[in-house]
């Protein structure tokens, strides 16, 4: 039985569909495999997909990072319910390390390639809207919050508005 409108349901998006969808802003597909990670970039008005290597991140690292983040969140939740086992500052540092790692190894290289980290005058009104589409283990990491929070100008919030794919 075939239902109207479901011909491509749960099927991968084609390259042509990505190019068409990028009319309103860049689309970044993060491909994360066990031993490597890369980004596929589609820019508005561009009829092709650009490859960006992310050599300092892998699927294995994404899994370790996810585990570290979950441990930090679980620890924070348990400390809210009972006596604190360790200082909150230490928990904050763990999460900050995860977000900084995502910033320097995944998000910033993509924004640098596009040229969005060079704009010191970026405001929320003129920031580009980027649609991030992570795959694999990196799908469970907070790319939307990536940043070096020890330096408030080095976060995604200062560079672009994001959307999930």
Which range in 5-19, 24-38, 85-99, 149-163 is most confidently predicted, on average pLDDT? Answer: 24-38
154: exposed, middle or buried (Cβ count in 10 Å: 0-12, 13-18, 19+): middle
As a whole number of angstroms, the distance between CA 76 and CA 50 comes to 40
pLDDT band at 111 (very low <50, low <70, confident <90, very high): very high
Q: What is the structure's pLDDT at 133?
A: 93
126-141 pLDDT, tens digit per residue, is 667 899 999 988 999 9
Task: Let me know: does 96 contact 60? Beta carbons within 8 Å.
Answer: no
Residue 84 has pLDDT above 60, yes or no: no
Residue 8 has pLDDT above 70, yes or no: yes
Report residue 35 as tokens.
Answer: 């031993």
As a whole number of angstroms, the distance between CA 22 and CA 45 comes to 8
Q: What is the structure's pLDDT at 150?
A: 86
Q: What's the CATH class of domain 16-164?
A: alpha beta
Which is more confident, 145 or 80?
145
Residue 147 has pLDDT above 80, yes or no: yes
Cα angle for residues 97, 149, 25 (degrees, 5° grid): 100
What sign has the CA pseudo-torsion 74, 80, 83, 86? Answer: positive
Q: Where are the beta strands (DSSP E) in the chain?
A: 27-32, 37-42, 50-53, 129-134, 147-148, 154-155, 161-164
């Amino acid at each position: 039985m075939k239902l109207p409108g479901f011909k491509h349901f749960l099927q991968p998006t084609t390259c042509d569909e990505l190019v068409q969808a990028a009319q309103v802003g860049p689309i970044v597909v993060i491909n994360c495999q066990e031993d490597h990670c890369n980004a596929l970039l589609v820019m508005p008005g561009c009829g092709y997909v650009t490859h960006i290597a992310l050599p300092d991140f892998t699927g294995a690292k994404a899994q370790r990072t996810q585990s570290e983040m979950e441990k930090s969140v679980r620890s924070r939740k348990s400390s809210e319910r009972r006596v604190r086992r360790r200082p909150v500052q230490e928990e904050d540092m763990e999460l900050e390390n995860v977000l900084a790692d995502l910033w320097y190894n995944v998000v910033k290289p993509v924004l640098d390639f596009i040229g969005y980290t060079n704009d010191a005058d970026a405001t929320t009104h003129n920031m580009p809207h980027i649609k991030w589409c992570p795959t694999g283990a990196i799908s469970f990491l907070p790319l939307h919050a990536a940043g070096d929070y020890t330096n408030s100008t080095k976060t995604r919030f200062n560079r672009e508005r994001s959307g999930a794919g």
